[in-house]
Structure 1
Amino acid sequence: MSAEGKSVRNCSGTGKMHAFRCERRDYLTHGVGEYPLPIRVLHAIVFFLIWLFCRIKWRTRFYGMDELVEHVRDRGSVIVMNHVSMIDPVATVVYLGMRGVTVRPIYKSEFDRIGPAKFFFPRMGAIPIERGSADINALRAAKDALGRGECVLIYPEGTRVKSDEQEVEIHGGFSMIAQMGRSDVVPAAIVGAADPYKTRPTRGKRPLVTFGRPITFESLGVKGRKAQMAEMERAAMAEVYRLRDELRVENPGLW
């Protein structure tokens, strides 16, 4: 077989991956555990270094992580969280990764305009999505990830929220991904993340993250696919904000 034929065979989306033959899209159609050995080694080194930095600089504290780790041991879940800083996905993905949980964050494809991000993000398991459109490739990649037992991390607010006065449009695609992947949704909340824009007095504080109980479509008490998706969007985000407000009350001064 020619070298070209081997390349197609090894990186067709279902075959064995090769570190020097795979295209960017192959990192979306394969599980992180299927990545080529050099990429998995790089993945482990990067995660350890970021985890170590987080332990020293940010010292993020998690609540409900043990329960989440146990819950997703044999299945994938869609995790939805409020978004206040770029620290949010970094700390969440890395800390869970160090506990053996593969989390694939959804990120807006605009970041791909940054060369290093376009190369690095997919190789770390992230999934780009074209906002404002039915991005079939992203939906399929997220659905397949759930089927493999990987978690998918989504920020339905779509952007970093810097104040309670900021208008936020909730992007409800996470309920469709959960339904496609036959998954539940785990609400999560974060407060106290360092703020690189210095718009809030939280810089240097310890971020706090809490994971809520999984919400299943069966528990919603609603019939019909569209009605279930709409109710999941409402219930999950209501729980995200309840958890966030609870953290704020228990930790005055953290936003």
Structure 2
Amino acid sequence: MSEANGNKPVKKPREPKRAEDGFDFIRNGMDEYPAPTRALYRFVAFVLGVFSRIVWPTSFEGLDDFVDHVRDHGSVLVMNHTSMVEPVVLICELWRRGVHVRPIYKAEFEKIGPAKWLFRRVGGIPVDRGTADLKALKAARDALMRGESVLIYPEGTRIKNDEQPVEIHGGFAMIAQMGKSDVVPSAVVGAADPYKTRPTRRRKPFVRFGAPLTFDEVGGSMRKEKVANMEKAAMEQVYALRDALREEHPGLW
């Protein structure tokens, strides 16, 4: 029917606005996420947690101490990176213990629609490596001050063998300093098999948490010096934990 016939055009009903529309998952706390997102997170974490315990049965050492340590405040958790297995098993296990962990991930993933949608809803914070990404720094700082923990892989990418060059990205110490937090070094072995030493593809990772490092411990008089000392001390601990695990579990990498 047209307006010439005395009838007004029929308006299409507006689609109801979803609670997630326009929500800033990066700057808001995970407890503040819309109810559908929180429900999705719980479902996915539960399913992946069950799956990982069957397919990647992981042994955690020092987990109880870490959980107790971050119960009232957030920490920056740093770890070596060999596979996509370790962030899955780690985040799911910590969720089961009631610990909110926000992983830092490469901003390149934001170009992949499904990855961007998912990573933000599990608390991920994208960072543009090689730049002073103030948005990411402030988001991580705010997360720490809310009591959430931040998971960072300073190697920046999966290290597939010992021959691969490693470049340490040291922003984790600045994040800890901005968030008035500490740094907890940790390590994993067994999540990858780069040298094809195992007869099957089943993986049994071992994860070990170290003692928290504070800026008072690492020393330094100036801010930059403290950050540099923290980066050095934390990564030394990460590799010491990794090497000890390798020695205790020969053949695992």
TM-score with structure 2 setting the length: 0.90
Residue identity over aligned pairs, in percent, reads 58
Deviations 1:161-213 (A, max 9, x none): 01111110000000000000000000000000045xx6543531301100000
Render the CA deviation track for 1:24-82: whole Å, top value 9, x for unaligned. xx101111111011110000000000000001100111000000000000000000000
SS in 1 for 2:231: helix
- Distance across 1 between alignment mates of 2:222 and 2:43: 45
Kindly indicate whether the alpha-carbon contact (under 8 Å) linking 1:65 and 1:210 is maintained by their aligned counterparts in 2.
yes
| SS of residue in 2 equivalent to 1:42 | helix
Paired residue total: 235
1:103-123 CA-to-partner distances (Å, cap 9, x unmatched) read 000000111222110111001
Distance 1:184 1:20, change over 3 A: closer
1:37 aligns with one of 22, 30, 35: 35
Quote the residue 1:88 is aligned against.
86
Structure 2: which amino acid aligns with 1:221? G
Aligned residue in 2 for 1:114: 112
1:22 corresponds to 2:22: yes
2:247 corresponds to: 249
Aligned mates of 1:106, 1:42 — CA distance in 2: 20
The whole-number CA distance in structure 2 between the counterparts of 1:69 and 1:39 is: 24
The verdict on how the C-alpha distance between 1:20 and 1:166 changes in structure 2, with shifts beyond 3 A counting, is closer
62-71 vs 162-171, greater mean Cα deviation: 162-171
Contact 2:219–2:229, Cα closer than 8 Å, also in 1: no
Select the residue among 155, 164, 167 that pairs with 2:165: 167
CA offsets, 1:135-185, max 9 Å, x none? 111001000000000000000000110111111000000000000000000
Q: Which residue of 1 aligns with 2:139?
A: 141
Whole-angstrom distance in 1 between the partners of 2:208 and 2:20: 39
Q: Distance in 1 between matches of 2:20 and 2:153?
A: 32
Alignment of 1:1-255 (within 5 A): 19-23=19-23, 26-195=24-193, 199-201=195-197, 203-255=201-253
Where structure 2 has 5 or more consecutive residues not aligned to the other structure, the ranges are 1-16
Q: Per-residue deviation at 1:221?
A: 2.5
Which amino acid in the other structure matches residue 65 of structure 1?
L
Structure 1: any 5+ residue segments left out of the alignment? Answer: 1-6, 8-17
Q: Is contact 1:189–1:243 with CA below 8 Å preserved after alignment?
A: yes
Q: RMSD of the alignment, in Å?
A: 1.3
Question: TM-score normalised to the size of structure 1?
Answer: 0.89
Q: Which residue of 1 aligns with 2:11?
A: none
Shift of 1:94: 1.1
Deviates more, 1:157-166 or 1:238-247: 157-166
Specify the structure having the higher radius of gyration (Cα): 2
